[in-house]
C-alpha cells in the first residue's frame, strides 16, 4: 500500500472481527512507532501490549470511551517517561508522533485502530497504572486497540483550504 493511501483511508475503527492479531503484526506496529521523530532523539516512549481478555475487559471500568476494547483482540498502550530526558517538555509530541506512526503501520497491514486518549485525564492514567502495574513516574498517554475491522476502509476528503495560510495569517 502506498503511504498516501494509508493516510487517506485510515479511520477510527471501533468494531473488530474475532480473529487474533499475530505477534509479528504487533511487533511491526511498535517498530514503526519507535521510528517516529523525537525531540533530541530522546525517545521517551514505552509500549504495553495487552491481549488478555480479562485485562482488556477491565479498561472500560475507568475509561468511559474505551468500550471497543471489549471486542478488540489486542491493544497497545503508549506511555511516556520524560524523567532524565534532555527535552522533557516534548514527551507529548514525541508520543503523539509514535501514535500516528502506529496507526498508519496498522492500516498498512490491513488492521483497524482507534486512538483512545488517556493523558492528561488523571483518572484514566491512574486506572492504567493500577491495572498494568505502571510505575508512578511513567505517564500513560494513549491506548490503541488493534484488530481486523468488522467494516471496510474508505477514503474521505477532509481537506479544508480555508485552514491554510501563506506567509501570514
Q: How far is CA 53 from CA 34, 37, 56, 146, in A?
A: 26, 32, 5, 13
Q: Which residues make Cβ contacts (< 8 Å) with residue 90, sequence separation at least 6?
A: 38, 39, 40, 42
What three-state secondary structure class fits 33? helix
Tens digit of each residue's pLDDT (9 = 90 or more) over 59-102: 999 999 999 999 999 999 999 999 999 999 999 999 999 999 99
DSSP state of 36: S
Q: Higher-confidence residue: 154 or 134?
A: 134
Pairwise CA distance, residues 145 & 73, whole Å? 8
Model confidence, pTM: 0.96
Report the share of the chain in percent with pLDDT over 90. Answer: 96
Cβ-contact 104, 32 below 8 angstroms: yes
Question: What does the pLDDT read at residue 156?
Answer: 84
Q: Which of 110, 111, 106, 101 is nearest to 32 (CA)?
A: 101
Q: What is the pLDDT of residue 11?
A: 95
Predicted confidence band at 153 (pLDDT cuts at 50, 70, 90)? confident
pLDDT tens readout for residues 108-135:
999 999 999 999 999 999 999 999 999 9
Domain 19-151 in CATH 3.40.109.10: yes
Domains in the chain: boundaries: 19-151
pLDDT at 54: 97
Q: What 3-state DSSP class applies to 139?
A: strand
pLDDT of residue 67: 98
Query: CA–CA separation, 1 vs 153, rounded Å?
Result: 13
User: Nearest-5° angle of CA 40, CA 163, CA 78?
Assistant: 40
Mean pLDDT of the chain: 97
CA distances from 21 to 65, 72, 120, 148 (A): 22, 9, 29, 7
Amino acid at each position: 500500500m502506498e503511504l498516501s493511501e494509508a493516510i487517506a483511508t485510515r479511520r477510527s475503527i471501533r468494531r473488530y472481527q474475532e480473529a487474533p492479531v499475530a505477534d509479528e503484526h504487533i511487533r511491526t506496529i511498535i517498530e514503526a512507532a519507535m521510528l517516529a521523530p523525537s525531540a533530541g532523539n530522546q525517545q521517551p516512549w514505552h509500549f504495553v501490549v495487552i491481549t488478555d481478555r480479562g485485562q482488556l475487559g477491565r479498561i472500560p471500568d475507568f475509561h468511559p470511551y474505551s468500550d471497543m476494547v471489549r471486542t478488540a483482540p489486542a491493544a497497545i498502550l503508549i506511555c511516556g517517561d520524560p524523567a532524565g530526558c534532555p527535552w522533557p517538555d516534548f514527551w507529548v509530541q514525541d508520543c503523539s508522533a509514535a501514535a500516528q506512526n502506529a496507526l498508519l503501520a496498522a492500516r498498512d497491514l490491513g488492521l483497524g485502530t482507534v486512538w483512545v486518549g488517556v493523558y492528561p485525564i488523571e483518572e484514566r492514567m491512574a486506572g492504567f497504572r493500577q491495572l498494568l502495574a505502571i510505575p508512578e513516574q511513567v505517564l500513560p498517554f494513549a491506548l490503541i486497540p488493534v484488530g481486523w475491522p468488522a467494516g471496510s476502509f474508505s477514503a474521505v476528503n477532509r481537506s479544508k483550504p480555508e485552514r491554510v495560510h501563506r506567509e501570514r495569517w
